């Protein structure tokens, strides 16, 4: 199958040209002006932008968490991602404490294989680093193509590891060319504040927010950065929300340390006032919580300063009925919010259209940087000859309204209900297949492939 896309405005992290793209089978085989090839299909992209397929390196699909499962499966979650222009996601495997990393891998593979519609990869979350786990790090990097290892400095009693385990894991991961991602908040302090608030009868979602003050994230981020510097292990802080944490990264740059930073679309656009509305605030109960307007400004600035390299989602949806598990106790509200389908359009509308970031930055933080950091570049994350034909044809002027009535995520509310945005995903190619066209999905369940990743580098 060959496809010729004509006269599109091709945008990469470095270029902005009007031209044609020729796809043969799964890959891009030519890019140029007035290409005159025979093709099975010719698409006129005049007036449209063409971006590399989005990469969301932070999603949780069918994840067992807080006594329930996140409500998007690999099928519904990766399909919704495609509708929103994201062609590859990276999900998190969670080790069960006391069990091996490989047994968790098998568990996640059993849910993903033959189910995913879009492409996916895995980070391995290490929740119990010990002498049995240690040799598995090398095996994951060299045999499984899984090169990033997630750690939690919070969720005490379930997922959290201590600094002793963190240092040991960092040494092992560095030795074999991997990277550590971290949920950097101080789990002990949060645990103390949660118990204190509950004891005082403060059970509403607002107290989820008040139990995770900025200092818990700033302190843990700084501690993680110091440990990464000491061991020399590449580090990536997930879902950064606030000024205090970003200042720790800024300080690290003064000693020429590279720390990768991800924020999520919700931390750029939403703020903690949403928790003031009684239990409605449960829709945005996530960890870390939404912050203040001043933090949003810091994060936008951080993107432009090159301190924040990735805008992800931490997509972790729960049905409203699941959120009700915490009606009498905020600490029982499943943490997470849905966004994988909205990320690219929201970032374009609120970022590019409102002159907060350039088109090149948009591509960098929504696709290219994640591909580079996580060892998928240039197969993914760019438009170049030989790359996978993962492409988004985008109308930069179409206005539309976000709503749970229209979205494809398996969740019965939207965090962005009624938002009017500009810019719409029209057609999406995944490895040369027209997966989405005019609000319809043509990729089947099982089309999505597991993407093996290469060793990582400390610089991008």
Q: How far is the CB of 282 from Zn ion (least distance, A)?
A: 17
Among the listed residues 73, 159, 104, the one whose alpha carbon sits nearest the alpha carbon of residue 340: 73
Nearest to Zn ion of 183, 343 (CB atom): 183
- Residue 228 C-alpha from the chain's centroid: 22
Q: Which residue is nearest to ligand URP (CB)?
A: 335
Nearest to Zn ion of 183, 208 (CB atom): 183
Among 10, 50, 261, 286, binds ligand URP (CB under 6 A): 286
Kindly state whether residue 93 participates in binding ligand URP, applying the rule CB under 6 A.
no
* Contacted entry of ligand URP, Zn ion, none for residue 295, CB cut-off 5 to 8 Å set by kind: none
Nearest to ligand URP of 289, 381 (CB atom): 289
320 half-sphere exposure, CB direction, 13 A CA radius: 8
* Contacted entry of Zn ion, ligand URP, none for residue 451, CB cut-off 5 to 8 Å set by kind: none
Q: How far is the CB of 46 from ligand URP (least distance, A)?
A: 41
Q: How far is the CB of 19 from ligand URP (least distance, A)?
A: 39
Among 49, 56, 60, 272, binds ligand URP (CB under 6 A): 60
Residue 178 to residue 203: CA distance in whole angstroms: 41
Kindly state whether residue 335 participates in binding ligand URP, applying the rule CB under 6 A.
yes
Q: Which residue is nearest to Zn ion (CB)?
A: 183
Q: How far is the CB of 238 from Zn ion (least distance, A)?
A: 6
Among 84, 336, 375, 423, binds ligand URP (CB under 6 A): 336
Q: How far is the CB of 336 from ligand URP (least distance, A)?
A: 4
Kindly state whether residue 314 participates in binding ligand URP, applying the rule CB under 6 A.
yes
* Contacted entry of Zn ion, ligand URP, none for residue 72, CB cut-off 5 to 8 Å set by kind: none
Residue 340 to residue 313: CA distance in whole angstroms: 6
Residue 274 to residue 283: CA distance in whole angstroms: 9
How big is the chain by its Cα radius of gyration, in Å? 21
Kindly state whether residue 56 participates in binding ligand URP, applying the rule CB under 6 A.
no
Q: How far is the CB of 163 from ligand URP (least distance, A)?
A: 19
Among the listed residues 242, 219, 218, 222, the one whose alpha carbon sits nearest the alpha carbon of residue 230: 222
Residue 449 to residue 388: CA distance in whole angstroms: 12
User: What's the per-residue H, E or C state across 251-320?
Assistant: HHHCCCCCEEEEEEHHHHHCCHHHHHCHHHHHHHCCCCCCCCHHHHHHHHHHHHCCCCCEEECCECCCCH
> And the tokens for 386?
């030989």
Nearest to ligand URP of 337, 408 (CB atom): 337
Residue 115 to residue 246: CA distance in whole angstroms: 37
Cis (ω within 30 of 0) for the bond into 92? no
Kindly state whether residue 310 participates in binding ligand URP, applying the rule CB under 6 A.
no
Site for ligand URP in 358-417 (CB under 6 A): none
* Contacted entry of ligand URP, Zn ion, none for residue 335, CB cut-off 5 to 8 Å set by kind: ligand URP
Contact positions toward Zn ion, by CB under 5 A?
183, 314
* Contacted entry of ligand URP, Zn ion, none for residue 286, CB cut-off 5 to 8 Å set by kind: ligand URP
Site for ligand URP in 153-192 (CB under 6 A): 183
Kindly state whether residue 291 participates in binding ligand URP, applying the rule CB under 6 A.
no
Report the 10 Å Cβ neighbour count for 424: 17
Q: How far is the CB of 126 from ligand URP (least distance, A)?
A: 14
Among the listed residues 82, 12, 111, the one whose alpha carbon sits nearest the alpha carbon of residue 440: 82
Number of residues forming the site for ligand URP (CB under 6 A): 8
Nearest to ligand URP of 183, 408 (CB atom): 183
> And the tokens for 344?
């690219």
Among 62, 71, 87, 287, binds ligand URP (CB under 6 A): 287
Applying CB under 6 A, which residues contact ligand URP?
A: 60, 183, 286-287, 314, 316, 335-336
């Amino acid at each position: 199958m060959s496809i010729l896309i004509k006269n599109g405005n091709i945008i990469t992290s470095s270029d902005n040209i009007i031209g044609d793209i020729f796809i043969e089978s799964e890959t891009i085989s030519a890019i140029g002006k007035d290409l005159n090839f025979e093709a099975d299909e010719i698409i006129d992209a005049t007036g449209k932008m063409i971006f590399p397929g989005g990469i969301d390196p932070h999603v949780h699909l069918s994840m067992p968490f807080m006594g329930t499962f996140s409500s998007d499966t690999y099928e519904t979650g990766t399909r919704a991602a495609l509708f929103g222009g994201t062609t590859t996601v990276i999900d998190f495997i969670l080790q069960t404490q006391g069990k091996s990393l490989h047994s968790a891998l098998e568990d996640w593979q059993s849910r993903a294989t033959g189910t995913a519609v879009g492409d996916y990869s895995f980070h391995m979350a290490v929740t119990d680093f010990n002498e049995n786990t240690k040799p598995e790090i090398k095996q994951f990097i060299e045999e499984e193509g899984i090169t990033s290892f997630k750690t939690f400095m919070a969720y005490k009693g379930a997922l959290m590891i201590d600094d002793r385990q963190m240092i040991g894991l960092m040494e092992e991961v560095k030795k074999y060319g991997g990277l550590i991602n971290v949920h950097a908040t101080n789990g002990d302090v949060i645990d103390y504040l949660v118990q204190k608030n509950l004891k005082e009868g403060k059970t509403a979602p607002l107290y989820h927010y008040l139990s995770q003050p900025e200092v818990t994230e700033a302190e843990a981020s700084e501690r993680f950065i110091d440990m990464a510097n000491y061991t020399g292990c590449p580090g990536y802080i997930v879902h950064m929300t606030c000024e205090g944490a970003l200042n720790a990264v800024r300080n690290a740059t003064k000693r020429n340390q590279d720390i990768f930073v991800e924020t999520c679309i919700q931390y750029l656009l939403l703020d903690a006032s949403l928790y003031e509305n009684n239990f409605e605030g449960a829709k945005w109960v996530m960890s870390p919580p939404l912050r203040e307007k001043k933090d949003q400004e810091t994060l936008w600035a951080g993107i432009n300063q090159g301190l924040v390299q990735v805008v992800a989602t931490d997509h972790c949806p729960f049905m409203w009925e699941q959120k009700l598990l915490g009606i009498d106790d905020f600490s029982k509200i499943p943490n997470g919010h849905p966004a994988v389908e909205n990320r690219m359009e929201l970032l374009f509308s609120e970022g590019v259209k409102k002159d907060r970031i350039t088109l090149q930055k948009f591509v960098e933080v929504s696709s290219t940087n994640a591909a580079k950091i996580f060892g998928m570049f240039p197969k993914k994350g760019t438009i170049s000859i030989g790359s996978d034909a993962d492409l988004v044809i985008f109308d930069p002027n179409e206005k539309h309204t976000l709503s749970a009535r229209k979205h494809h995520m398996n969740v019965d509310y939207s965090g962005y209900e009624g938002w009017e945005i500009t810019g719409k995903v029209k057609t999406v190619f995944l490895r040369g297949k027209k997966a989405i066209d005019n609000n319809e999905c043509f990729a089947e369940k099982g089309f999505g492939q597991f993407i093996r990743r290469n060793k990582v580098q400390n610089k991008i």
